[in-house]
Structure 1
Amino acid sequence: MAKLNRTVTVYEQLKEKIENGSYSPAESLPEVELATEYDVSRNTIKKALLMLENDFYVTLEPNKGAKVRSYSKKEVLDYLQLRVELEGFIVRLAVPQFSDEDISRLEFIFQQMGVCCKNNDLLQYSALNQQFHAIIYDVCPNRAATDLLLRLKAQMRKYNGKTILVPNRDTRSHMEHGAILEAIKRRDPIQAEAKVRAHVESVRQTFDDYFSLLF
């Protein structure tokens, strides 16, 4: 049991570093160095890396070892195409469940996003953007859909925040979130779905246009 716990601990720590960008896409993960860093056996590292491979965080190649998984432009665009469908489905189910308090929280976050746009605070804008969508996910009654989306977003976390670096993307994003918020306030699930889909499609188009500059 202790060995299993150590493996899970290393797995979780490596996964967090991949998700937060401490390890870059395609970066090598040498077993010997990791074993020294985490003060565990190479066998424990091997098991943790296998778990990460199963969850699509790393790739394992014979005689080459492990690397952080990287994604091609097509793979990122395919992922965003799937996000269009999932995000739209989730918000459509969520809208009838929104309380006045939930909407007030969205309004406050939206206002703070506007402040970030004025101050060119892209890092904080991205954090608020995540909080805005997290409220929608929390309200949605279909946990299978939200869990699937959150797993996908975690795997692609290194890519998710890149579009905000495109000039004026924060302003356009803020307008798109405003349209989503207005549809939610009107308790209109069809319009909310349409606005969310348009927002993610806009993100996808930005990736398509600027991918070579962002990566």
Structure 2
Amino acid sequence: MKGNGPSAAVYESLKKKIEVGSLSPSENLREVELANQYKVSRNTIKKALLMLERDTLVTIEQNKGAKVRSYSLDEVLDFLELRSVLEGFIIRLSCAVLSETDIENMKRILDTMRVLKDRQELVSYSQHNQKFHQVIYDACPNKTATNLLMNLKNQMKKYNTKTILIPKRSDQSFGEHEAIFEAVKNGDCQGAESLMITHIMNVRKVFQENYQLLL
């Protein structure tokens, strides 16, 4: 949380709503309405909105007020292209230092992902997908790279889990994660990097082909 007090509490609440999609892109964030909703002063709301603006989650225009930040297709595709490079770099570094416990954890997560995929419990599948990647991030010795990646992912969080809902994407996604795991388990760090880049670029392709369904 960014500090303490009512502004920080409002900031965290609005941030979560934006990330899960409860507040839609371009939706107006009116100070008076928010002040009434959260039972705080308009000045408290102003401070919270400024924090959200610094996180690029909100845009504030003079005489127009605040809106939830929206992203064009090109911006999302640029993000995913950059993410593919960062994810590839991170897994190449992590692959060399992952412990046996990390490998076992990834295997357990992958086994759970298989069950969830077969049951078509895709929201839970996506959550375990994130856990799979988190093992890789946590092991990476280059924390600057992982921090940069997480900042980018947080900005696009509302989009990160949606591609799995596209028909047949869950089967493709699981196959990609299975291949990544095998490369990591075998110590093939360059292979893991290549497979990870392909994985994220496939997400990018799915998003490009189904943009209107994923808004």
Tell whether the 8 Å contact from 2:122 to 2:164 is kept in structure 1 after alignment. yes
Deviates more, 1:97-106 or 1:55-64: 55-64
1:167 and 2:142 correspond: no
Question: How many equivalent residue pairs?
Answer: 213
Report what 1:150 is aligned to: 150
Q: Which amino acid aligns with 1:131?
A: K
Where do 5+ consecutive residues of structure 1 fail to align? none
Q: Distance in 1 between matches of 2:126 and 2:147?
A: 21
What letter corresponds to residue 170 of structure 1 in structure 2?
A: S
- Whether the 8 Å contact between 2:159 and 2:214 is mirrored in structure 1 is no
Q: Which residue of 2 aligns with 1:48?
A: 48
Please give the secondary structure, in 1, of the residue aligned with 2:187: coil
Q: State percent identity of aligned pairs.
A: 54
What is the alpha-carbon distance in structure 2 between the residues aligned to residue 53 and residue 99 of structure 1? 39
What does the per-residue CA deviation read over 1:68-124, in whole Å, with 9 as the maximum and x for residues that have no partner? 111110000000011011101111110111011100110111111111121111111
SS of structure 2 residue aligned to 1:66: strand
Q: Secondary structure at the match of 1:50?
A: helix
Aligned equivalents of 1:172 and 1:73: distance in 2? 22
Q: CA deviation at 1:20?
A: 2.1
Q: Which whole-Å deviations, capped at 9, do the CAs of 1:18-72 have from their partners, x for residues lacking one? A: 1122212111111011111222211111111111111100011222211111111
Partner of 1:32: 32
Specify the SS of the correspondent of 1:23: coil
- Alignment partner, residue 68 of structure 2: 68
CA distance in 1, matches of 2:16, 2:212: 26
Name the TM-score, length of structure 1 as normaliser. Answer: 0.95
SS in 1 for 2:174: helix
Q: Which residue of 2 aligns with 1:206?
A: 206
Residues 1:183 and 1:4: Cα distance change in structure 2 (over 3 Å): closer
Q: Secondary structure at the match of 1:181?
A: helix
Alignment partner of 2:59: what SS?
strand
Match of 2:79 in 1: 79
Moved over 4 A (4+): none
How many angstroms apart in 2 are the aligned matches of 1:213 and 1:39?
A: 36
Shift of 1:4: 6.5
Moved more, 68-77 or 113-122: 113-122
Distance 1:50 1:214 in 2: 28
Task: Determine helix, strand or coil for the equivalent of 1:26.
Answer: coil
Partner of 1:108: 108
Q: Give the TM-score normalised by structure 2.
A: 0.95
What SS class does the counterpart of residue 67 from structure 2 fall into? strand
